[in-house]
Amino acid sequence: MAKVRILSDRVANQIAAGEVIERPAAVVKELVENAIDAGATRIEVEFRHGGRSLMRVEDNGHGMSRDDALLALERHATSKIAEADDLNRLASFGFRGEALPSIASVSRFVLQTREAGADAGTEILVNGGKFVHVRDCGRPVGTRIEVAQLFNSVPARRKFLKTDQTEAAHIITGVRLYALAFPQVAFTLIEDGRVIFRSPECADLLGRVAEIFGRQLASELVPIDTAENGMRLSGLIGRPGTGRSTRHEMITFINQRPVDTRAINYALIESYHESMPKGRYPLAFVFFEIDPAAVDVNVHPSKREVRFRAETAVRGFVIRSVLTRLRELGEIVAVPMAAPIAPSPAAPASAVVLPKLVTVMPAAIERRVADHAPHLKAPPASQPIAHPVPVPSAPVAPAWRFLGLAHATYALFETKAGLVLLDRRAAHERIWFERLQEQFREGTVPSQRLLLPVPLELDPIAAALLLDRLEFLNGHGFEVVEFGRNFFRIEGVPAWMEPADAEPFVRELLGALRDGRLQESRLDVAREQLARLAAARAVRLGEAGGEAAMLALVAQLFACRSPLTSPGGTPTHVELSHGELSRRFQR
């Protein structure tokens, strides 16, 4: 039987590192928080290869003496709290005293620090939890910490790290959050020798948002500042109609700590319920202040999750505050839940609403149509189906008799087997998806140059993503050029895209990259995902026209390789057989 024993400090630190340091971004987070707690007004962060090979955080805070620096590398040594009751009134980021010893136990850790009035600084080198040396060094007041070869002493943990690109995105996102939380602190972020962003001290939050996210986004924000029953909500919120496809620009802070809290996130979304299309998220950079005793930040080692003692009261206060502010602006307007884009005014009512799409039906496609729907004939091969050209007078298949439209979205057909309901949008998306896939594969994406280029200002993270992917984007019908720091111009777009859609589509594409919905490891997979995003944008549901237009749409749909579903996997049509109808009517 195994004996019970006390773990050595080194093993205990490595176990603690599994909770506190799950990835390189967690190292940067802990070091930046320590710098802020130390009163720094300038923080510089540098990392290489996604943080695997090097992370460096340097600040001009008050620094440490040699004794304090050595003590800081002991477990549960902290200057932030002294008693358990101090957890109820935390005013600092760190308080557990686990971060530095945990980091030092799984890396090559170098700490250089000097406090004001000291003749020399102190340098401490720890490799895999073992002290190598402690000696004097020359440096200005403040602290510099280098973390190299992360998880080299625990290779199993290293295998769980994602790609350099993914790990870098987490680091950049984390530093950006602290830069927003403390606009009075100058931040510099460097990746692989390239400056991602450099933001000097800003007088207010709006200036910092403009530095990081771009002045174009900052112009869409309005200030908010309300207080009630010991709670305060301040910061910036977006005007109605300026939503985003992802939550990356809906950022919340609780007592200046960046957190993810469902209570506030859901409250923000609910506040914009009547003024934001479904599936869109509001812009928000808000600070929620509350008595530290009313919120528990000691829920998880990452401290990104918190728990309110009165969550219902918090949610209600946020909703009331945002709604009141929007009403003061007089900008609450009801918007439709779906946001279809209106058809071109030039398009006749009888046109098949597939902009700029020309589909020729050769004999092989006619055979494929016959395989999927033997009772449906395709239009003659010499007769293209396009928008905005008139619908061809194709022969009408008697087994598919068009009955009409329901809710301007579903086309109803009578067939020999029963009834068919066709989802026009899903059908159009399937047709566009396969057409774009073919164009991407053959490298024949038609493009149109814009008479007036579309300006595009991005935050440094999105700008870095776009710079790395300009070749891919420009190879698929776009013409995007860099035009300054974090500034681009869209000078050409694919022929299927309306120029007004160019900017929101590129932003949506970058959001998909940041969310991991668009993978680049394989070109064919990336093209498929791009075609899926593009197909949703290409569809314009205008007036459907008459029977000929609907039968032409069906012909195009069944000429596809997978006519039964949309690119998103939803059915393109539903059939109700005679038997099903009889059962429904209890015959």
In the chain, the N- to C-terminal Cα span, in Å, equals 74
Give percent of the chain with pLDDT exceeding 90: 33
Give percent of the chain with pLDDT exceeding 70: 78
197-249 pLDDT, tens digit per residue, is: 888 888 889 999 988 888 888 999 999 999 999 999 999 999 887 888 778 88
The 3-state secondary structure of 106-135 reads CCEEEEEEECCCCCCEEEEEEECCEEEEEE
Dist. CA 113–CA 31, nearest whole Å: 13
In this prediction, residue 69 carries a pLDDT of 93
Dist. CA 542–CA 342, nearest whole Å: 7
Q: Which of 217, 240, 239, 236 is nearest to 225 (CA)?
A: 236
pLDDT top residue among 501 and 65: 65
**Residue 325 DSSP one-character state:** H
Highest mean predicted confidence (pLDDT) among 153-167, 289-303, 448-462:
448-462
- Which CATH number, 3.10.560.10, 3.20.20.370, 3.30.1540.20, 3.10.290.10, labels domain 350-587? 3.30.1540.20
- CATH code for the domain defined by 9-202: 3.30.565.10
Residue 260 phi, psi (nearest 5): -110, 110
Label residue 68 by pLDDT band (50, 70, 90).
Answer: very high
Highest mean predicted confidence (pLDDT) among 13-22, 143-152, 410-419, 464-473:
143-152
In this prediction, residue 480 carries a pLDDT of 93
Label residue 93 by pLDDT band (50, 70, 90).
Answer: low
Residue 113 phi, psi (nearest 5): -150, 155
Range list of β-strands (E), 263-378 = 284-289, 295-296, 307-308
457-498 pLDDT, tens digit per residue, is: 887 778 878 888 888 888 888 999 988 777 899 999 998 888
In this prediction, residue 289 carries a pLDDT of 94
CA distances from 431 to 335, 381, 409, 497, 528 (A): 29, 17, 16, 15, 14
Dist. CA 420–CA 277, nearest whole Å: 30
Label residue 64 by pLDDT band (50, 70, 90).
Answer: very high
Residue 321 phi, psi (nearest 5): -65, -45
CB atoms within 10 A of CB 283: 23
Domain ranges of the chain: 9-202, 220-329, 350-587
30-60 pLDDT, tens digit per residue, is: 999 999 999 999 999 999 999 999 999 999 9
CATH class assigned to 220-329: alpha beta
Residue 480 tokens, joined: 């995007």
In this prediction, residue 91 carries a pLDDT of 53
Characterize the bridge pairing of strands 186-191 and 42-48. Answer: parallel
Can you tell me whether residue 436 is helix, strand or coil?
A: helix
The amino acid at 545: G
In this prediction, residue 131 carries a pLDDT of 93
pLDDT top residue among 160 and 452: 452
Global pTM reads: 0.65
In this prediction, residue 27 carries a pLDDT of 94
Dist. CA 346–CA 335, nearest whole Å: 25
Dist. CA 205–CA 179, nearest whole Å: 10
Question: Which residues make beta-bridge pairs with 308?
Answer: 295
341-387 pLDDT, tens digit per residue, is: 333 333 333 333 333 333 333 333 333 334 434 433 333 333 333 33
Can you tell me whether residue 264 is helix, strand or coil?
A: helix
* Range with lowest mean pLDDT among 1-10, 192-201, 257-266: 1-10
Average pLDDT of span 80-103: 60
CA distances from 467 to 194, 474, 482, 486, 522 (A): 12, 11, 8, 9, 19
In this prediction, residue 59 carries a pLDDT of 97
Label residue 544 by pLDDT band (50, 70, 90).
Answer: low
Please determine, for residue 262, whether its predicted confidence score (pLDDT) is greater than 50: yes
